[in-house]
Amino acid sequence: MAATRDAFACMGVRDIQAGLAAREFSAREVAASALDRVRALDGATHAFLETTEQMALEQAEKIDAALSAAVASVPGAGAAGAAGTRAAAEAAGAALAACGPLAGVPVAFKDNMNLAGTHTTCSSRMLAAYVSPYTATCVARAIEAGGIPLGKLNMDEFAFGSSTETSAFGPSRNPWDLQRVPGGSSGGSAAAVAAGLATVTLGSDTGGSIRQPGSFCGVVAVKPTYGVVSRYGVVAFGSSLDQVGPFARSVADAALALDAIAGRDPLDCTSQEAGAGFAENLAEGVRGMRVGVVPAFMEAKGLTPEVRAKVEEAAGHLRALGADIVEVELPNAQAAMSAYYVLGPCEAFSNLARFDSVRYGYCDPGHADLGGQYEASRAKGFGPEARRRIMLGSYLLSAGVYETYYYPAQQVRTLITQDYARAFEQVDCILAPVSPRTAFRFGEVSDPTDMYLSDMFTISINIAGNGGMSLPVGLGAETGLPVGVQLISPQFKDHNMLRVAAALETVYGPAPVAPDFRECATFEAPAAIPDAAEAVPGKDLPGLATDGDAAAGAPVQGATNKEKGGSPMRSEGCEASERSMAEPPAPQVKRGGEGGRASSAAPTKRVPHEQGSPVDCPGEPGLSERLGAAEDARSQVEKAGE
C-alpha cells in the first residue's frame, strides 16, 4: 500500500481520487484502512454507533473493478513509458468520474438516516433494535455517487440537543479536546470528520445541528436551503425545519458532497431542483460581492470576545479580498429562538406520536392493556429531553393554547423570512457567528435553557429556510479551540455562501485533522463497535406483550438481543443507571514518539442507558419550568408582532 492508514485520513476527495486514478492504491485499501482507523481510534471519540464493513468492501470492489476495466480497455495502456501511464491514468480518471463525485471516498451517516440492513436508532432506547427496511434518498445518492459507506454516527436523541449528551448510547467527544462536547445534534458526524475517521459525513440541521458542531469541531459544515436535499428516509424532528447537509474538511469536498445528494426527489414533495454544480464557481473569488454583517448579532449578550474577534477578522479578510462589507438589519431575529421553541416542540410532538410500541419501537413487557403498554413504553423508551419536548408540544397544541402560541409563532416566522428577503436585496451573503462560544466541557451547561442558547445565531436561518454553513477560521485566542464563522445565503443561492467560504479558505486553509488524531495517534483500548452484519430485521416488531407472554418467556422488545438471537452489544436490558450530565471519563492519547500507550476507557456501543420514569428523574425540571420557555415565547411573539 503506497499510502498509510493515517495518510488516507488527511486526504480530501480530490487527493483520494487522484491516487486511485494513478493506481497508487486501490479503493479496497482505502475502505479497509478507514475501517481499521475507526476501530482503532473511535474508542476515544465515540462517533460511530455501527460499522458497515460488508457494504464498504463491496462498494470498494465495484470501484476497483470499474477502474481495472477502464484501464484494460485502452490500447497501449499497459505499455511501458510515460504515454502508457498517462493513457491509463486518463482512462481511470474518466471511470472515476462516471462512478460519481464521491467515488472511492469514505462516508458515514447520522443515525437518523435509514440505510437498509442497518440499525437506525436516532440514539434512542426507543429504536435501539430497529433495523431499516429501506434507504433514505440522501444516503442512497451518496452511495450511488461512489461513496464508501463506513457506518452510522452518534447524535443527540432524536436530534434533541446541542452536545450529543442526550444520546442513549453515551456522548461523543470533541477530537480537539476529549473533555469537551463536539456539539449537536450531529456531534458524531462532526467528530468523525475532525478525527479523520471519515472524509465526508452527513448530518441533519433543524436549528443549527450541522453548523454548531461544525464550529465546535473545526470542520466545514453545510446546511443548504430547505428543499435542496430530500428528507425522505430521515427520521423527522421538525418537518418544516429539518435539512440534510455534509461535513468535510474543505469547502470543495463539502460542495462535491452536496452535488451528490442534492436535487428533486419524487418521494419528498418539499424537495426542489437545485441546479447542482455547487463546486463549479468556488475559484471565482469575492471581488465585487456584497457581504452583510448584522450589528445585533455582533453585540448580542453572551457572545464571547474570542468568537467576536474571529468574525471581525474574517470580515477584514473578505474586505481585503475585494468584497464590500455592508451592515444589514434583521429586526425580528431576536424573536427567532422563542418562535422556534414553539414551532419545534409542536412538530416534534406530532412526529414522535408514531412511536407507540406496537408498530415499532421499544415495547415495555408485562402489560395486560394497551394503554398501560403505551405509557410505560414511551416513558422508558424516550429520554428526558425527548419527554420534555413531547410535553411542551402537547401543551402548545392543546385546545385554548394553540391560538395563543402556535399561530403567533407562525406569524413571527413570516416576519423573519421577510427580514432575510429584504436583507438579501442589499447583499449576496451574510457573515455572522455560528455559536456564542467555543466547545464547552461535559456537564458545564446543565440547564436546558442555557443549552438552547448554543443555537441563538443559527435558528433564524432554519425558520426562514435559507442556506447556512460554518467555516473554520482558526483557534480562539482564549480557549485555543476551533471557531467557525457562519455564512448565510439567499434561498436556493447556496453557491453564494460556498463561493465566499472558498475565498476565506484561501486565507485560513482547509481544516486539519485534530492534532491528537494525526499520524501515529494511538489509544490503548480500541472501540467495540457492532457491525450491521449483526442486524436482525423484524426484531423491532413486538406486537402486544401481555403478562402471560412475559411469564411464558416469550421474546419481547425489552429483552436483550442475546435472548432474541442477536448481538448482546445491543442489549436493551442494560442495568446501568441513566447517564447524568457529569463529565464522562475521556481517553488519553499518546502521539507516536512520545512513548508508551495511554490508558483508555472506551465507551460500550449500542447499550442504551436505563431510562427512569419521567416522574422519577432527579434534577429534571418540573412542568412549570419546562413551560417557562413557552411563556417567554408568547411575550416575545406578541412584541415582534406589534
Active-site residue identified among 110, 223, 380, 539: 110
126 grid coordinates: 426507543
Number of separate helices (H) and strands (E) present in the chain = 21, 11
Tally of CA atoms within 13 A in the half-sphere of 600 that contains its CB:
26
Does the active-site annotation cover 185? yes
Gap between the terminal Cα atoms of the chain: 67
Count of residues in the chain: 642
Ranges of H-type helices in 10-128:
13-21, 27-45, 53-72, 82-99
Check: CB of residue 492 under 8 Å from CB of residue 225: yes
Q: Give the bridge partners for 431, in sequence order.
A: 293, 487
Place of cell 445565531: 457
Is residue 446 reached through a cis peptide bond, with omega within 30 degrees of 0 on the bond before it?
no
Does the active-site annotation cover 240? no
Sheet with 290-293, edge to edge strand ranges: 48-51, 148-153, 106-110, 200-205, 243-248, 220-223, 467-475, 482-489, 429-433, 290-293, 324-327
Q: What are phi and psi of 519, to 5 degrees?
A: -55, 135
Check: CB of residue 148 under 8 Å from CB of residue 140: no
User: Rounded CA gap, 51 and 149, in Å?
Assistant: 8
User: Rounded CA gap, 194 and 389, in Å?
Assistant: 30
Please give the DSSP secondary-structure letter assigned to residue 271.
-
Active-site residue identified among 185, 230, 338, 357: 185
Distance of CA 565 to the CA centre of its chain: 31
Name the residue type at position 435: S
Active-site residue identified among 124, 162, 209, 571: 209
- CA neighbor of 220 nearest in space, from 565, 497, 462, 480: 497
Listed in sequence order, the residues at least 6 apart from 642 whose beta carbon sits closer than 8 Å to its beta carbon are none
- Strands 290-293 and 429-433, by their bridges, are parallel
Q: Give the bridge partners for 221, in sequence order.
A: 247, 470
Q: What is the 3-state secondary structure (H, E, C) of 601-620?
A: CCCCCCCCCCCCCCCCCCCC
Place of cell 473533555: 179
Please give the DSSP secondary-structure letter assigned to residue 161.
-
Check: CB of residue 212 under 8 Å from CB of residue 183: yes
Q: Give the bridge partners for 485, in sequence order.
A: 433, 471
For the annotated catalytic residues, the residue numbers are 110, 185, 209
